[in-house]
C-alpha cells in the first residue's frame, strides 16, 4: 500500500506542475480526462461497488447542471453554493428512483430499464420546460470571476477538475475501508448472503445511490460552467450516460483507479478521433471504435485494465496483504 | 372532447402499434431465449430502414415489397452478432451483458451513419399521401399497409416457431435452456437462428416504416426505448404479450397527444413502463418467472 | 424458555404445502438435527425461520420474541444466522474480506471487526487462506468460510444447511470437532444434514420432516427405527417388509 501511495503522490505532483509545460489545448484534454474520471467514479460508487446497474446517470448530471445554473442566472447564487443544492436535488431524485426500484426488488436488467426510463423522462421533460431554455437550450452568460465559476482559458478548470478527481478518490477510498463500502461490495457479490449476515440490503443500496447521484450532480455543475451551454440532448441523453460508464468499465469496475485509468486511455483517444475523423468527414467513427472497445473489454478484460495491471504488478510488489 | 378525434387517434395509433408489435416481437423473442436485452435493436431497425430505402433509390422497388430483403439482411447480421458477441457473453454477469450489447449498439448505429450519412431522407412513394375514409375516420394508406404487413410477418414468425423443427427448438430453449440441450438441439445454432429471426423482425419493421417517416441514423433510438416499454408491458419474453403490448402502447401514445405535445408522447410509454415494472414486473402476459 | 420455538408454521407455494403445521422447540445450548428425504421442506423451513420467506401462518419465537415478519438482516441482528446449502461466498473477495462483512454485524469499530475476523478465520482453520480469493477455495474450504462468516456475526443460534454435504470423511470429522467446539462456546445449533455420521455425532435429538410435516421427533437412534420414517425414506413397501 505504501508503494501505491508514494506513486500517487508523485503522480499528483506531476499533474500539479504539468500546466507549466503544456499548451492550453492539451490542458483542455486533461480537463476532460479529469471530468470523465470523476463522473465515472461517481457512477462506480453505485454500479461498481454496490451493484445496481444504472444507465440513467445523465439525469443526475442534468439536475446538477440545471439547478446550479438556474440558481446563478435567476438568483445570483454562486455555483460554488449552487452545486451543493444541485447535488441535494439529484440525491433526492436518485433516492426516489432507488426507493421505487429497490423497494419493489427490481434487479439486473429490470433496474437498468427503470433508470433508462427515468433518464428519458427527465430529458423529455427538460426539453419542454420554457425556463430551462426549451428546445433551444440554455446559454450560460459568461461572467469571468472565481465567484461565478467562470474562467478564461483552461488553467483554472484544470485545477478544479483535478480537485474533483482527488476528492472522488478520497471518497471512494474512505468508502472501501468503511462499513458502508464493505457492505456495498457484499451486496454486489451476493445479496442473499449479505442479507443473511445482517446487511440491510435496501438501506445500503439507498445510501449507494444517494452518494452516487449527489457526486454526479456536482460534476454537472462543473460541466455547465465549463461548456456554458446546456441542452437536454447534450447533457441528459442516454448517450451521456454511456460516456459516463465507459471509462470505469474499461479501466476496472469497482476499483478506485479504474475510472481514472479508463479516462486516461479513452478520453484522449476520443478527442483525437473526434477532431481527426470529423475533419476527414467520418463523423461517428470514434463511437464505432468506442463500441468495439467496449465489446473487447467485456470479452477479453472483464475485470478492466486495472485488474490486468494488478496482475502484472503483483509479482513485483509481492502478494498484497489485506488493506 | 371530440369523439371523432379520439377515434381518429385510436385508429392511427393502433395501426402504428402493429409495427411496434413486430419490433417488440423480435426483442422479446431474443430476450425470452437468451435472457439478453438487445440494445442494438434500434440500430437494427435503422439498418432495415436504410436497406429498404437504398433499394428503393436504386431499383425503385417499394419498401412494402423489399421488406423481405431487409429481413434477410438483418437475419444475417443478427446471426453474426450472436455468434461473435452474444454467444460469448451468455454466462457473464448481467452488467457485463448490458455493456457488451451497448457496445454493439454503438457500432451498428454509427456504422449506419458512416455509410448513409447523418442527414435525414424523406422518400416519397406513390401513395404516401393517399388516404381512405372509414366513416368519419381518415386512414393513411401507408400506415394501413404497414399494419397489415406487420401483422402478417408476425403471424409468419409464429408459424415458423410452431411448425418448423428449429422453431420448436427455439421455443423449447425459451422454456428451458437445459431442456433444449437434453433433447439434443444444437443450442448454438438455435440461439444464432433465434437472434437472426429477432433481428429479421425488426429489419422488416424498419422497411415498413420507410414510407411513414424520415430515415436517419438516429430514428431507431426512440423506437428501441418504446419497444423496451412494450416488452415490459407485455412481459419479457412473452410473444403474444409483445403483440398486444405493441398495439396498446401505439394507442396510448397516440391518445396521449390530446393532452401533451406529441414530442413528449414517449413519456407515456415510459410512464407505463415504470408502473408495470413496479407493480407487475413480469408484465401483463408474462406468467412464469 | 426455549431459545427457538415454532408453533404451527405453514408455508405453501401455490397448491403445494412445503411446510405444514410444523412445531418444535429448541433449547439454548442444544444441537438439534432436522432430517427428511429430498423435497421434505427442510430448506424451506430454514428460509421461513430466518425471514427469507414469509410464513403463511404460525409463529416463530426466538429468544422470547415473535420474529415472524422480520427481515433476514434483522433476524441476524437478533442473533440467528443461517448458512446456505449451496454456499454463497462473495467470490471476488478474499477470505478475510468475506468474513469482515459478517463481523461488522456486531463490531462497533472496523478495528474490532478486523480482530474478530482474524480470530474467527483462525477458529475454522482457514488461517493460511486469509488473503486468498474465495473463488480459489476448494469446496471444503468454502464450507468453512460459510461457517466462519456465520460465526463472525456472533450468533446465539446457528442454522446449518447441509454443511457437510460433499466433504471427504476426514473433512467431515474435522467439521464435527469444530461444531462441537462452537457449541461448547455457547452457540445453539440447528442443522439440516444428510451425512448421518455427522448428524449422529452431533445431535442428541432430531426432527423428521416429510412432505412438509413433522412425522417424528426424538433420539437419533430411536427415530431411524420409526416405521413412518423408514417409509418416508425408502417407500412403504420396504417398511412393510421390515415389520
Judge whether A307 is closer than 8 Å to chain B, CB to CB.
no
Cell of A158: 484544470
- Residue-wise pLDDT tens digits, A285-298: 878 888 898 898 88
Does B236 have pLDDT greater than 60? yes
Model pLDDT, residue A64 = 96
A212: domain range?
Answer: 26-236
Asked if C238 and C122 sit in the same domain, the reply is: no
Asked if C11 and C103 sit in the same domain, the reply is: no
Model pLDDT, residue B181 = 60
Let me know if residue A241 belongs to a domain. Answer: no
Asked if C131 and C34 sit in the same domain, the reply is: no
Ramachandran angles phi, psi of A54, nearest 5°: -110, 130
Nearest by CB: B107 against A112, A121, A291: A291
Mean predicted confidence (pLDDT) in A24-49: 95
Contacts A–B by Cβ distance under 8 A: 124
- Residue-wise pLDDT tens digits, C8-34: 999 998 888 899 999 999 999 999 999
- Show me where the domains of chain B are located: 21-117+138-216
Give A-chain residues touching C130 at CB under 8 angstroms. 322
Judge whether A47 is closer than 8 Å to chain B, CB to CB.
yes
Mean predicted confidence (pLDDT) in C207-222: 88
Mean predicted confidence (pLDDT) in B47-59: 93
Distance in angstroms (rounded) separating the CA atoms of residues C22 and B58: 76
Let me know if residue C84 belongs to a domain. Answer: no
Judge whether A178 is closer than 8 Å to chain C, CB to CB.
yes
Give C-chain residues touching A186 at CB under 8 angstroms. 90, 93, 101
Nearest by CB: A104 against B94, B217, B278: B278
Asked if C238 and C159 sit in the same domain, the reply is: yes
Distance in angstroms (rounded) separating the CA atoms of residues A135 and C13: 53
Model pLDDT, residue A281 = 66
Q: Are C56 and C44 in contact, with CB atoms under 8 Å apart?
A: no
- Quick check: do A and C touch, 3+ CB pairs under 8 A? yes
Mean predicted confidence (pLDDT) in B152-161: 94
Give A-chain residues touching B38 at CB under 8 angstroms. none
Return the minimum-mean-pLDDT range out of A189-198, B230-239, C72-81: B230-239
Model pLDDT, residue B189 = 87
Around B216, how many Cα atoms within 13 Å sit in the side-chain half-sphere? 11
In chain C, the number of structural domains is: 2
B222 or C241: which carries more pLDDT confidence? B222
Distance in angstroms (rounded) separating the CA atoms of residues C229 and C235: 9
> Among the three residues C154, C186, C201, which one is the final residue of a domain in this structure?
C154
Question: What Rg do the C-alpha atoms of chain C give, in angstroms?
Answer: 18
Residue A116's pLDDT band, with cuts at 50, 70 and 90, is very high
Model pLDDT, residue C242 = 47
Query: Residue C142's Cα: distance from chain center in Å?
Result: 15
Mean predicted confidence (pLDDT) in B213-221: 87
B124 or C162: which carries more pLDDT confidence? C162
Asked if C43 and C98 sit in the same domain, the reply is: no
Judge whether A193 is closer than 8 Å to chain C, CB to CB.
yes
CB-based contacts of A108, cutoff 8 Å, min separation 6: A53, B94
**Highest-pLDDT range among A311-320, B19-28, B267-276, C203-212:** B19-28
Asked if C93 and C212 sit in the same domain, the reply is: no
Nearest by CB: C92 against A189, A198, A321: A189
List beta partners, residue C60. Answer: C6
Determine, for residues A189 and C93 on separate chains, whether the beta-carbon distance falls below 8 Å.
yes
In chain A, the number of structural domains is: 1
Model pLDDT, residue C27 = 93
Residue C227's pLDDT band, with cuts at 50, 70 and 90, is confident
Does A317 have pLDDT greater than 60? no
Question: Which one, of C201, C110, C231, C103, lies nearest residue C155 by Cα?
Answer: C103
Cell of B39: 440494445
- Residue-wise pLDDT tens digits, A142-152: 888 888 888 88
Q: Count Cβ atoms below 10 Å from residue C57 Cβ, excluding itself.
A: 12
- Residue-wise pLDDT tens digits, C54-110: 999 999 999 999 999 999 999 999 999 999 999 999 998 999 999 999 999 999 899
How many angstroms separate the CA of residue A149 from the nearest CA in chain C? 39
Mean predicted confidence (pLDDT) in C160-178: 91
- Residue-wise pLDDT tens digits, C140-167: 899 999 999 999 999 999 999 999 988 8
Question: What Rg do the C-alpha atoms of chain A give, in angstroms?
Answer: 19
Does B287 have pLDDT greater than 60? no
Give A-chain residues touching B228 at CB under 8 angstroms. 113, 116-117
* Four-point Cα dihedral C30, C36, C40, C43, nearest 10: 40
Contacts 24+ apart (CB under 8 A), C193-196: C193/C33, C193/C34, C193/C35, C193/C160, C193/C162, C193/C163, C193/C164, C194/C35, C194/C162, C194/C164, C194/C165, C195/C162, C195/C164, C195/C165, C195/C167
Asked if C159 and C236 sit in the same domain, the reply is: yes
Judge whether A104 is closer than 8 Å to chain B, CB to CB.
yes
Determine, for residues A288 and B92 on separate chains, whether the beta-carbon distance falls below 8 Å.
no
Ramachandran angles phi, psi of C242, nearest 5°: -70, -35
A67 or C204: which carries more pLDDT confidence? A67
Distance in angstroms (rounded) separating the CA atoms of residues A246 and A37: 10
Let me know if residue A285 belongs to a domain. Answer: no
Ramachandran angles phi, psi of C20, nearest 5°: -135, 115
* Residue appearing with cell numbers 472496523: C110
Question: Which one, of B96, B111, B98, lies nearest residue B44 by Cα?
Answer: B111
Mean predicted confidence (pLDDT) in A256-260: 92
For a pLDDT cut of 70, what percent of chain A falls above it?
Answer: 94
Mean predicted confidence (pLDDT) in B272-285: 84
Residue A259's pLDDT band, with cuts at 50, 70 and 90, is very high
Model pLDDT, residue B221 = 85
> Among the three residues C99, C129, C154, which one is the final residue of a domain in this structure?
C154
Judge whether C71 is closer than 8 Å to chain A, CB to CB.
yes
Give A-chain residues touching B232 at CB under 8 angstroms. 110, 113
Distance in angstroms (rounded) separating the CA atoms of residues A211 and A90: 10
Residue A1's pLDDT band, with cuts at 50, 70 and 90, is low
Q: State the pairing for strand pair C57-62/C4-13.
A: antiparallel
Model pLDDT, residue B288 = 44
Asked if C138 and C99 sit in the same domain, the reply is: yes
Residue A314's pLDDT band, with cuts at 50, 70 and 90, is low
Does C243 have pLDDT greater than 60? no
How many angstroms separate the CA of residue A310 from the nearest CA in chain C? 14
C11: domain range?
Answer: 4-79+155-242
Asked if C61 and C180 sit in the same domain, the reply is: yes
For a pLDDT cut of 90, what percent of chain C falls above it?
Answer: 66
Question: What's chain C's average pLDDT?
Answer: 90
Does B16 have pLDDT greater than 70? yes
Model pLDDT, residue A323 = 40
Judge whether A236 is closer than 8 Å to chain B, CB to CB.
no
> Among the three residues C125, C154, C183, which one is the final residue of a domain in this structure?
C154
Judge whether A96 is closer than 8 Å to chain B, CB to CB.
no
Q: Are B113 and B215 in contact, with CB atoms under 8 Å apart?
A: no
Residue A164's pLDDT band, with cuts at 50, 70 and 90, is very high
Asked if C67 and C159 sit in the same domain, the reply is: yes
Does B101 have pLDDT greater than 80? yes
Q: Are B21 and B194 in contact, with CB atoms under 8 Å apart?
A: no
Mean predicted confidence (pLDDT) in A235-253: 90
Question: What's chain B's average pLDDT?
Answer: 88
Q: pTM here? A: 0.90
Asked if C129 and C144 sit in the same domain, the reply is: yes
Model pLDDT, residue A319 = 47
Q: Are B78 and B45 in contact, with CB atoms under 8 Å apart?
A: no
Model pLDDT, residue B196 = 96
Return the minimum-mean-pLDDT range out of B37-41, B270-274, B285-289: B285-289
Phi-psi region of A20 (alpha: psi -120 to 50; beta: other; left: phi over 0): alpha
Asked if C99 and C11 sit in the same domain, the reply is: no
Let me know if residue C217 belongs to a domain. Answer: yes
Model pLDDT, residue B185 = 62
CB-based contacts of C86, cutoff 8 Å, min separation 6: none
CB-based contacts of B271, cutoff 8 Å, min separation 6: A121
Amino acid at each position: 500500500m505504501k508503494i501505491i501511495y508514494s506513486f500517487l503522490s508523485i503522480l499528483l505532483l506531476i499533474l500539479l506542475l504539468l500546466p507549466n509545460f503544456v499548451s492550453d489545448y492539451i490542458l483542455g484534454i486533461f480537463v476532460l480526462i479529469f471530468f470523465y474520471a470523476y463522473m465515472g467514479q461517481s457512477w462506480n460508487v453505485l454500479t461498481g461497488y454496490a451493484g445496481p446497474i444504472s444507465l440513467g446517470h445523465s439525469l443526475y448530471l442534468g439536475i446538477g447542471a440545471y439547478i446550479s445554473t438556474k440558481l446563478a442566472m435567476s438568483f445570483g447564487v454562486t455555483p460554488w453554493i449552487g452545486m451543493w443544492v444541485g447535488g441535494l436535488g439529484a440525491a433526492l431524485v436518485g433516492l426516489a428512483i432507488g426507493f421505487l426500484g429497490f423497494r419493489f426488488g427490481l434487479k439486473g436488467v429490470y433496474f437498468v430499464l427503470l433508470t433508462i426510463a427515468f433518464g428519458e423522462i427527465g430529458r423529455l421533460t427538460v426539453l419542454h420546460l420554457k425556463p430551462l431554455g426549451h428546445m433551444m437550450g440554455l446559454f450560460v452568460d459568461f461572467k469571468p470571476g472565481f465567484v461565478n465559476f467562470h474562467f478564461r482559458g483552461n488553467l483554472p478548470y484544470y485545477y478544479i477538475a483535478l480537485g474533483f478527481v482527488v476528492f472522488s478518490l478520497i471518497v471512494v477510498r474512505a468508502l472501501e475501508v468503511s462499513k458502508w463500502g464493505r457492505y456495498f461490495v457484499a451486496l454486489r457479490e451476493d445479496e442473499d448472503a449479505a442479507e443473511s449476515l445482517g446487511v440491510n440490503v435496501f438501506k445500503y443500496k439507498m445510501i449507494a445511490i444517494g452518494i452516487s447521484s449527489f457526486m454526479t450532480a456536482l460534476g454537472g455543475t462543473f460541466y455547465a460552467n465549463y461548456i456554458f451551454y446546456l441542452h437536454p440532448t447534450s447533457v441528459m441523453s442516454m448517450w451521456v450516460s454511456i460516456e459516463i460508464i465507459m471509462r470505469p468499465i474499461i479501466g476496472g469496475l469497482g476499483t478506485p483507479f479504474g475510472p481514472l485509468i479508463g479516462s486516461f486511455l479513452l478520453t484522449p483517444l476520443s478527442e483525437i478521433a473526434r477532431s481527426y475523423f470529423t475533419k476527414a468527414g467520418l463523423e461517428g467513427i470514434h463511437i464505432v471504435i468506442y463500441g468495439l472497445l467496449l465489446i473487447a473489454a467485456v470479452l477479453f478484460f472483464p475485470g478492466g485494465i486495472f485488474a490486468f495491471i494488478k496482475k502484472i504488478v503483483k509479482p513485483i510488489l509481492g502478494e498484497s496483504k489485506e488493506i | 372532447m371530440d369523439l371523432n378525434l379520439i377515434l381518429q387517434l385510436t385508429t392511427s395509433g393502433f395501426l402504428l402499434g402493429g409495427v411496434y408489435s413486430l419490433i417488440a416481437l423480435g426483442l422479446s423473442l431474443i430476450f425470452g431465449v437468451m435472457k439478453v436485452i438487445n440494445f442494438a435493436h434500434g440500430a437494427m431497425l435503422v439498418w432495415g430502414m436504410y436497406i429498404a430505402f437504398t433499394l428503393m433509390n436504386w431499383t425503385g422497388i417499394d419498401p412494402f415489397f423489399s421488406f423481405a430483403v431487409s429481413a434477410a439482411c438483418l437475419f444475417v447480421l443478427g446471426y453474426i452478432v450472436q455468434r461473435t458477441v452474444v454467444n460469448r457473453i451468455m454466462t457473464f454477469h448481467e452488467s457485463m451483458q448490458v455493456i457488451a450489447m451497448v457496445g454493439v449498439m454503438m457500432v451498428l448505429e454509427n456504422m449506419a451513419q458512416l455509410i448513409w450519412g447523418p442527414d435525414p431522407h424523406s422518400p416519397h412513394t406513390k401513395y404516401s399521401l393517399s388516404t381512405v375514409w372509414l366513416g368519419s375516420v381518415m386512414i393513411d394508406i401507408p400506415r394501413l399497409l404497414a399494419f397489415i404487413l406487420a401483422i402478417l410477418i408476425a403471424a409468419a414468425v409464429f408459424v415458423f416457431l410452431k411448425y418448423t423443427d428449429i422453431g420448436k427448438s427455439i421455443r423449447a430453449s425459451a422454456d428451458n435452456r437445459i431442456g433444449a440441450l437434453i433433447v439434443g438441439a444444437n443450442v448454438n445454432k438455435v440461439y444464432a437462428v433465434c437472434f437472426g429471426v429477432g433481428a429479421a423482425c425488426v429489419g422488416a419493421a424498419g422497411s415498413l416504416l420507410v414510407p411513414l417517416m424520415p430515415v436517419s441514423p438516429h430514428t431507431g433510438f426512440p423506437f428501441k426505448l418504446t419497444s423496451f416499454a412494450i416488452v415490459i408491458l407485455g412481459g419479457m419474453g412473452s410473444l403474444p404479450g409483445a403483440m398486444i403490448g405493441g398495439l396498446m402502447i401505439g394507442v396510448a401514445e397516440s391518445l396521449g397527444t390530446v393532452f401533451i405535445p406529441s414530442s413528449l408522447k414517449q413519456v407515456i410509454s415510459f410512464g407505463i413502463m415504470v408502473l408495470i415494472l413496479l407493480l407487475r414486473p413480469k408484465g401483463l402476459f408474462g406468467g412464469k418467472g | 424458555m426455549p431459545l427457538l420455538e415454532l408453533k404451527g408454521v405453514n408455508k405453501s407455494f401455490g397448491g403445494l404445502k412445503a411446510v405444514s403445521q410444523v412445531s418444535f422447540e429448541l433449547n439454548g445450548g442444544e444441537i438439534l438435527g432436522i432430517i427428511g428425504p429430498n423435497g421434505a421442506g427442510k430448506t424451506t423451513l430454514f428460509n421461513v425461520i430466518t425471514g427469507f420467506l414469509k410464513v403463511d401462518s404460525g409463529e416463530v419465537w426466538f429468544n422470547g420474541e415473535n420474529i415472524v415478519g422480520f427481515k433476514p438482516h434483522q433476524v441476524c441482528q437478533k442473533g440467528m444466522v443461517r448458512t446456505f446449502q449451496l454456499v454463497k461466498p462473495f467470490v471476488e473477495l478474499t477470505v478475510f474480506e468475506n468474513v469482515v462483512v459478517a463481523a461488522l454485524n456486531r463490531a462497533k469499530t472496523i478495528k474490532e471487526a478486523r480482530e474478530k475476523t482474524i480470530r474467527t478465520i483462525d477458529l475454522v482453520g482457514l488461517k493460511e487462506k486469509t488473503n486468498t480469493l474465495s473463488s480459489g477455495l476448494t469446496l471444503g474450504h468454502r464450507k468453512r468460510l460459510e461457517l466462519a462468516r456465520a460465526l463472525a456475526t456472533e450468533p446465539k443460534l446457528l442454522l446449518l444447511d447441509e454443511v457437510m454435504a460433499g466433504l471427504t470423511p476426514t473433512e467431515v470429522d474435522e467439521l464435527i470437532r469444530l461444531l462441537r467446539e462452537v457449541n461448547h462456546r455457547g452457540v445453539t445449533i440447528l442443522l439440516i444434514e444428510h451425512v448421518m455420521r455427522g448428524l449422529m455425532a452431533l445431535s442428541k435429538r432430531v426432527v423428521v420432516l416429510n412432505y412438509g410435516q413433522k412425522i417424528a421427533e426424538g433420539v437419533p437412534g430411536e427415530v431411524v427405527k420409526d416405521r413412518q420414517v423408514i417409509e418416508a425414506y425408502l417407500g412403504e413397501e420396504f417398511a412393510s417388509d421390515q415389520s
